[in-house]
Structure 1
Amino acid sequence: MRSPLLTTCLLGTLALGLTACSTDTSPGDDPAAGTTADETGASGEGHGAVAGAEELAEPRLGLTTIDPSGTVAHLDLLDEGVVELGSVDAPTAVETDGRYLFAETAGGLEVVDSGVWTWDHGDHFHYYRADPRLLGTVEGDGAATVATTNLSTSGSTGVHFAGSGDAVLLDTEALSRGELRERFRLDGEPGTGMVVPVGSYALVTEGRGEATTLVGRTADGDETGLREACPDASGTITTRVGAVVGCSDGALLATVADDELVVERIPYPAGSTPSSGGTAAPATAFDNREGRPTVAGLAGSAGVWLLDTRARAWTLLPAPTPLVTVTAVDDADQRLLALARDGRVLVLDGATGQVVAETAPLVADSLAAGRTPTLIADQQRAYLSAPVEGRLYEIDAADGARIARSFETAGEPAFVAETGR
């Protein structure tokens, strides 16, 4: 059933350019302030705490946006307040780990700290808030491929610059203190590549196309001796189980066991992809609700790939209509969220691929103009950017894809990240 669009309401103007029209109450009250971490970061027993950060009773979720000129703003989803955080150079792409925004610019990769994050401790979570800030630029040439983990105060973040071939591993704990520190920077050949953090290790691509190999390295850049073939390596994501790297013949799942880097191969089902006589294209990008074990990716025009990293198994679902992007909610109902080429957001059954709910065409103008919206799956809601329409949508996927809230923006929300998760 199609949910109606949000009833039109008169939009006032906030000082910094965002205002909200709401069809229900905000998701929660202002979280109670907790303790402040001391200089040793001992608050919360070090579970994601850093000096000066405030521990909260619930996540301080927000939407952090960067417009085409580089202006960075943060919308607090609890009180709907907006703060302008500063500006970066005009970005061409942005990646996020749920706290930091990594903006690809002409000078390299500029890093924005939203100041809100969640520490996933497996059976429970810790929530924090600190002052947002712009952390500076990781210098590099050409398009930057960024690979993150699910923890924003420990481990590493990987960056590969296509123009120079430089492979960089950033110290994420240093980022949480406001420092840009490179664990290693390795020379490479220009072209696409990846640096994928896995615990205290990293996987770095070598070669191109059918000859692509993933090489295991320590945080200092030394080789571990692990080398795994990954033809046409493309797409990476970290789940609760481990780090996924897409290959044309399946995926590699990287974990750390007994302090050693371990890689498992998860091949596509026989007869499914062109290399084995099928028609489903390999997935070249993956997305999910952060930290969950199942990820989703498009199988070209043939459908949707689901990879369950816990079961080490692929599932190919038919696409009900041509899709632009897809993400796995991975909840009790195994739902998927997808953006259709006509601008609708679809809620799909994860077992059959059938549409169980949908919105009206919310972002048809953006898609027609070649401005791809961002679709984000959360535990409670979904968020959709509408660059040309100048809006941000909050969607209740569990309630018939109902539009819960709509935020009008003064400028184009070219790049959007949900932060605090």
Structure 2
Amino acid sequence: MRSPLLSTCVAGALALGLVACSTGPTADGTGTGPTADAPTGGSGDGHGAVAGAEELPEPRLGLTTIDPSGTVGHLDLLDGSVTGLGSVGAPTAVSTDGRYLFAETGDGVEVVDSGAWTWDHVDHFHYYRAEPRLLGTVEGDGPATVATTNLSTSGSTGVHFAGSGDAVLLDTEALSRGELRERFRLDGDPGDGMVVPVGSFALVTEGRGDRTTLVGRTADGDETGLRETCPDAAGTITTRVGAVVGCSDGARLATVVDDELVVERIPYPQGATAAPATAFDNREGRPTVAALAGSEGVWLLDTRARAWTLLPAPTPLAHVTAVDDADQRLLALARDGRVLVLDGGTGAIVAETAPLVADSLAAGRTPTLIADQQRAYLSAPVEGMLHEIDPADDARVARSFETGTEPAFVAETGR
């Protein structure tokens, strides 16, 4: 379904069949504002530069897509150009850190380097562009859970394969040079699990259900001696403060203090009966994250304050993400296909779009909703569209891009 807000179309088809339709200006693409927190995941030395990369005066934001057959394309949000990046195996899931796409396929996890990234140096940012490329496959069996940090040229990336139980820690700096290098690969029991990078360490899950334990590991795979219970571990995200892991009794926040891995418990509020958070999302790197609390509402976790807030859901929701701006807004995808701007204090609807993705949701194809500082991006798999939304301007649809293929998986890259 196309938005009734769209009024003009750029004539002619771009490569790969993308056609841009616009009712507003191009997103300015500025990054997240500085805070007092240091970025997690690696040292600031080098400012994210990689040999052969070009440093830019502003981020080169784009939408990198993978269709059901594995065809990879990249839409440049600054000039509207579209580039084909090759193909991977038919994906069943895709994760991203804002530069790389980790596509789960029949062979394992195939890694796509979009060639665009931002280095967060706390009080300022550095922006880079290099040649995009396909980096190869991390071999593994069964569904994969990928955990990333906010830095794409240092630190590590974690991959856990449910079919085999293998726990893999990838060298992210090596990825930035075009190499797939495993820091460690540990045997485990088949089933769900996680490998969560935290600075030069990682947390690896052991056990299942209410007996799940987070085990601290060095980059070489050796145990640090840290073992922290995390019943029914599900969901992880990295903020400016540290790495979050969801547990049925709250969350665990992992940081590095004086070169030691530390885990803090953040329990749910006393008496809370809402379903626990099992998947987190936010504007990349910001301290506050959001998650659905079953059908009852929305959980907000402020990792700076180490505190949860439960908000009522104004309507049934399919997804929620924390913008974490001065107005503490949230973005949500309603189950009827609308994108909602929510008040972060009350959960009330501040603004909304038309039902942009009703057909996709009806077909069981959950769209991707991405928040950055200025705009939001929504994929419409069945409708064959990508939408750019201005949450601060009454949820106006600023631009839409008609795709010649289904945008099954979408990541905003360059941020």
- Give the TM-score of the pair, scaled to structure 2: 0.95
On the 8 A contact 2:15/2:83 being kept in 1, the answer is: no
User: Which residue identity lines up with residue 294 of structure 1 in the other structure?
Assistant: T
Unaligned 5+ segments in structure 2 are 30-43
- Does residue 107 of structure 1 match 2:112? no
The structural deviation recorded for 1:8 is: 6.0
Report Cα offsets for 1:136-191 as digits up to 9, x if no partner: 00000000000000000000000000000000000000000000000000000000
Could you say which residue in structure 1 is the equivalent of 2:34?
A: none
Paired with 1:5 and 1:364, the residues of 2 have a C-alpha distance of 16
Q: Secondary structure at the match of 1:46?
A: coil
Structure 1: which 5+ residue stretches go unaligned?
30-43, 273-277
What's the offset of the Cα at 1:4?
Answer: 5.2
Which residues of 2 match residues 89-168 of structure 1 at below 5 A?
A: 89-168=89-168
Give the Cα separation in 2 of the matches to 1:352 and 1:56.
40
Matched AA of 2:131: D
What does residue 26 of structure 2 align with? 26
Structure 2 residue aligned with 1:298, among 275, 281, 292? 292
Query: Residue 10 of structure 2 contacts residue 19 of structure 2 at CA under 8 Å; is this kept in 1?
Result: no
Q: Deviations over 1:357-386 (max 9, x none)?
A: 000000000000010000000000000000
The one of 393, 403, 416 equivalent to 2:410 is: 416
Number of residue pairs the alignment of both structures matches: 399
Secondary structure at the counterpart of residue 145 of structure 2? strand
Once the two structures are TM-superposed, the CA of residue 27 in structure 1 deviates from its matched residue by 3.0
RMSD after superposition: 1.2
Equivalent position of 2:314 in the other structure: 320
Distance in 1, matches of 2:367 and 2:172, equals 28
Q: Cα offset for 1:25?
A: 2.7
One-letter amino acid of the counterpart of residue 293, structure 1: P
CA deviation profile, 1:275-320 (whole Å, cap 9, x unmatched) = xxx2x10000000000000000000011000000000000000000
Tell me, in whole angstroms, the C-alpha distance in 2 between the residues paired with 1:187 and 1:9.
53
Instruction: Work out the CA distance in 2 between the residues paired with 1:376 and 1:28.
Output: 16
2: CA distance, partners of 1:294 / 1:78: 28
Question: What's the counterpart of residue 231 of structure 1?
Answer: 231
CA contact (8 A) 2:16 2:403 kept: no
Question: Given the alignment of the two structures, is residue 387 of structure 1 paired with residue 391 of structure 2, yes or no?
Answer: no
Look up the match of 2:35: none
> Which residue is equivalent to 1:38?
none
- Which residue does 1:16 correspond to in 2? 16
Q: Which secondary structure does the structure 2 equivalent of 1:16 belong to?
A: helix
Q: CA deviation at 1:46?
A: 1.2
Please give the secondary structure, in 1, of the residue aligned with 2:16: coil
Tell me which residue corresponds to 1:240. 240
- What are the Cα deviations for residues 1-57 of structure 1, in whole angstroms up to 9, with x where unaligned? xx953236476311321110111232359xxxxxxxxxxxxxx96100000000000
Residue 266 of structure 1: how far off its partner (Å): 0.1
| 1:359-378 equivalent positions in 2, closer than 5 A | 359-378=353-372
User: Which SS does the other structure have where 1:283 is aligned?
Assistant: coil
Amino acid at match of 1:402: R
Q: TM-score, normalised by structure 1?
A: 0.93
Distance 2:4 2:69 in 1: 33
Q: 1-side partners of 2:110 and 2:57: how far apart?
A: 31
> Partner of 1:334 in structure 2?
328
Specify the SS of the correspondent of 1:63. Answer: strand
Change (3 A) 1:8 1:28: closer
